Amino acid sequence: MLGPGSGRARPERVARPGPHPIGSPARGHREQRRRPGPVVPVMFDGNRPAWLVLGYQELHHVLNNPEIFTSDPRHRSRQVSVSPDWAPLPGVGRRQSLLRTDGDEHQRRYQAIDDVLGEVDVFLLRARAETVTDSVIDKFAGLGAADLIGAFAHQVPALVLASLCGPDDDPEVDQIADDLVDLVDLVEPGADAADGHHGLVEQLRVLLDDRLDEPGDDIISHLVEHPAEITDDEIVEDLAVVLGFGMRTVAGWIGNSLRLLLTDGSFALELSGGRRSVMQAITRVLWEDTPMQVVAGRWATRDVQLGGQRIRAGDMVALGVAAANSDPRVGAGRSPGPAGSCPAAAAAGGANTHTAAGAAATGSGGSTAAAAGANSAHLSFGHGTHRCPFPAQEIAEVITRTAVEVLLDRLPNVQLAVPADALVWRRTAWNRALTALPVRFSPV
């Protein structure tokens, strides 16, 4: 079966089930690029044709032009079958979240989320993240061994993100945390991710009903009170997307950062003394090992040329975030440099760098880039109108950085319990996450 809109290239099949050994994602992206051009035809899950954008400049163009590459699935070709229960796009064809809208409707809902998350006090959030991280570590600190994925990287972000929805003693908030942990596991091929997404939506609806009766100091209550007059359906759908993507991103970010710190010898000498090494590691992960590898969900609104390929109106376009970050044409952008400098952004025609200088203009913290001494022109948080809101990026960084730093402080001699090449990645095209990260340490 040929790729969408093309009779010239046979698509590559991706997202086969089953775990695979750890390896270099960049090597896989180089192998994909052996095909002509930075845009290639692929077949997701054996029967869903799409164009996979691998080039940094091309992906930047797609993200910057929603009028040509829309997020609204109503523009998809009738020949491109996308089930409402397809794991990468749960809910397509049902109620639409802000992720699946464009134009004024998207801006109205996006701004409400941006405003509400911007009200989160990051200092209190860090204190909360420290408390949660300590409580999670307490459960295995005396054992001398643990799986830092299931017992740590999945637990900390779920508990901290859920706390944004209400007080700790609310059992409905506890259920949100449980749902978020389940959601991480449901990204596996064959798992019913759509049910997980809808379960989260329904639990958020329960909390929303409670907040309508008794408002509190939480993101649900603040969305209810927002002047954009977000509807009940919009609140629960949009928060399900924000929390769901946030959970997958932060869980993967924590796990991948810990793997890097425990396996890369260049960090070994700094682990005992270095917050700087943690900042360098989590920044490097976003460039080289980003949790969100491929994002589905753009459709061409008209026939268009992109990366030497002719894309037909209605064709699905998938965003190869990890491949774009490792694009050799802009590789210099990944190296640390003076604040504000960004070869990658210049090559793309002015991508948002999110450096400390850029943060001052946008009101964002920009702390990762500033502290690590490197630019953040990676596309791991997206770009354009659908980029991850800056407050959400800051929340994700605070949780990730706090989790990693507290773990290394509490367990200073933690080390892998298996050879590095025995670690296994989840077998999915969409996310970059380990199945387990077994470690040993002195019981405390």
Count of CA atoms in the C-beta half-sphere (13 A) of 66: 19
Cα distance between residue 56 and residue 405, in whole Å: 31
pLDDT tens-digit series, residues 55-72: 999 999 999 999 999 988
Cα of first residue to Cα of last residue in the chain, in angstroms, is 58
pLDDT tens-digit series, residues 101-137: 888 999 999 999 999 999 999 999 999 999 999 999 9
Name the residue with higher pLDDT: 46 or 89.
46
% of the chain beyond a pLDDT of 70: 72
pLDDT tens-digit series, residues 389-428: 999 999 999 999 999 999 999 999 999 999 999 999 988 8
- Average pLDDT value for residue range 35-39: 75
Judged against a pLDDT cut of 80, whether residue 372 lies above it is answered with no
Judged against a pLDDT cut of 70, whether residue 376 lies above it is answered with no
Classify the C-alpha dihedral 127-131-132-136 as positive or negative: positive
Judged against a pLDDT cut of 70, whether residue 230 lies above it is answered with yes
* HEC-encoded secondary structure of the chain: CCCCCCCCCCCEEECCCCCEECCCHHHHHHHHCCCCCCEEEEEECCCEEEEEECCHHHHHHHHHCCCCEECCHHHCCCCCCCCCCCCCCCCCCCCCCHHHCCHHHHHHHHHHHHHHHHCCCHHHHHHHHHHHHHHHHHCCCCCCEEECHHHHHCHHHHHHHHHCCCCCCCHHHHHHHHHHHHHHHCCCCCCCHHHHHHHHHHHHHHHHHHHHHCCCCCHHHHHHHCCCCCCHHHHHHHHHHHHHHHHHHHHHHHHHHHHHHHHCHHHHHHCCCCHHHHHHHHHHHHHHCCCECEEEEEEECCCEEECCEEECCCCEEEEEHHHHHCCHHHHHHHCCCCCCCCHHHHHCCCCCCCCHHHHHHHCCCCHHHHHHCCCCCCCCCCCHHHCCCHHHHHHHHHHHHHHHHHHHHHCCCCEECCCHHHCEECCCCCECCECCCEEECCCC
pLDDT tens-digit series, residues 133-177: 999 999 999 999 999 999 999 999 999 999 999 998 899 999 999
% of the chain beyond a pLDDT of 90: 58
pLDDT the model gives residue 265: 80
pLDDT tens-digit series, residues 248-278: 999 999 999 999 999 988 776 555 555 568 8
The mean predicted confidence, pLDDT, of the chain is 80
Do 374 and 408 contact (CB within 8 A), yes or no?
Answer: no
Cα distance between residue 42 and residue 39, in whole Å: 10
User: Taking the model in full, what pTM does it have?
Assistant: 0.83
Judged against a pLDDT cut of 90, whether residue 438 lies above it is answered with yes
pLDDT the model gives residue 187: 52
pLDDT the model gives residue 331: 60
pLDDT tens-digit series, residues 7-16: 444 455 444 3
